[in-house]
Amino acid sequence: MVLGLAMLAVTFVPSEAIAADTPVQRETFGRSVQHRPLRLTRVGDPAAPHVVLVVGCIHGSERAGIAVTRALRDANPPAGTQLLLVDTANPDGSLRGRRGNARGVDLNRNFPWGWRPLDGLYASGSRASSEPETRAVERLVLRERPDVSIWFHQQLNWVDLQRGSSVTLMRRYAHVAGMRAVRTPVLPGTVARWENHRLPAATSFVVELPAGALSAARAAVHARAVLAVARR
């Protein structure tokens, strides 16, 4: 079932750690296979012209990026910019520590641009956009049209120089975060490829965190890197 704008659950959430003039909202933008909510935290003016989407986890076994999205809840976005923070786009897989969703589909192989059938660990689903989590992300991206999207993964410890994205922004992130920037092979059905195809003026890329949990200090460094990119 497609969630229209009228169906979005929106509440204002106070936060003493955020400046008084920085509005914060929480929304549910979809549901997983097992009907868990896909939640979004919006930090900054909802009418701001620039939008930065940050997703902490899409593979349920790669959860370190959630520490970054949580750190960013207390951020003051640059003027004219709002942050869209998604802790996990795969709540079923996150709960079980599994890469795929509840049907075993790798959501980062399920997006329609360059999709092809794959089995095993990288199972891409019965068809492109077969999974409710994929469709929810697609609706969110096409509605909000983020200027920049950052997708956290593990465990390769680099910034992926995604084709079709701004090399300047990706290298800026890598510089602030103290990471390598690496050009990797093109993969089928990934969300970053799909976003860059649908929003060719925008930038969507992957940050591969190292193995293990992020310390609070490292999460703060990555939050600063996000804000550095958001300043454009």
How far apart are alpha carbons 71 and 73 in whole angstroms?
5
Ramachandran region, residue 189 (left: φ > 0; alpha: ψ -120 to 50; beta: rest): left
- According to the model, what pLDDT value does residue 21 have? 59
- Taking residue 151's Cβ as centre, other Cβ atoms within 10 Å add up to 27
- According to the model, what pLDDT value does residue 9 have? 33
What is the chain's length?
232
Total structural domains within the chain: 1
Is residue 44, in this structure, part of any structural domain at all?
no
Q: Work out the percent of the chain whose per-residue pLDDT is above 90.
A: 88
Through-space distance between the first and last CA atoms of the chain, rounded to whole angstroms: 36
- Averaged pLDDT, 153-175: 97
How do residues 56-96 score in pLDDT, each as one tens digit? 999 999 999 999 999 999 999 999 999 999 999 999 999 99
How far apart are alpha carbons 63 and 51 in whole angstroms?
23
Identify the sign of the CA torsion 229, 182, 149, 61. negative
How do residues 38-53 score in pLDDT, each as one tens digit? 999 999 999 999 999 9
Instruction: Inform me whether the pLDDT recorded for 168 exceeds 90.
Output: yes
Q: Which two tokens stand for residue 129?
A: 């956009």
How far apart are alpha carbons 106 and 126 in whole angstroms?
11
How do residues 12-29 score in pLDDT, each as one tens digit? 233 333 444 577 899 999
Is residue 41, in this structure, part of any structural domain at all?
no
**Burial profile 40-59: b = 16 or more Cβ within 10 angstroms, e = fewer:** bbbbbeeebebbbbbbbbbb
Is residue 60, in this structure, part of any structural domain at all?
no
How far apart are alpha carbons 193 and 203 in whole angstroms?
10
Instruction: Inform me whether the pLDDT recorded for 200 exceeds 90.
Output: yes
Is residue 50, in this structure, part of any structural domain at all?
no
Residue 126's CATH number: 3.40.630.10
CB 205 within 8 A of CB 151: yes
Instruction: Inform me whether the pLDDT recorded for 232 exceeds 80.
Output: no
Is residue 66, in this structure, part of any structural domain at all?
no
Q: Which domain holds residue 119?
A: 5-30+80-230
Is residue 88, in this structure, part of any structural domain at all?
yes
Alpha helices in the chain (DSSP H): 66-72, 91-96, 132-144, 167-177, 191-198, 216-230
- According to the model, what pLDDT value does residue 15 have? 35
Is residue 132, in this structure, part of any structural domain at all?
yes
Is residue 87, in this structure, part of any structural domain at all?
yes
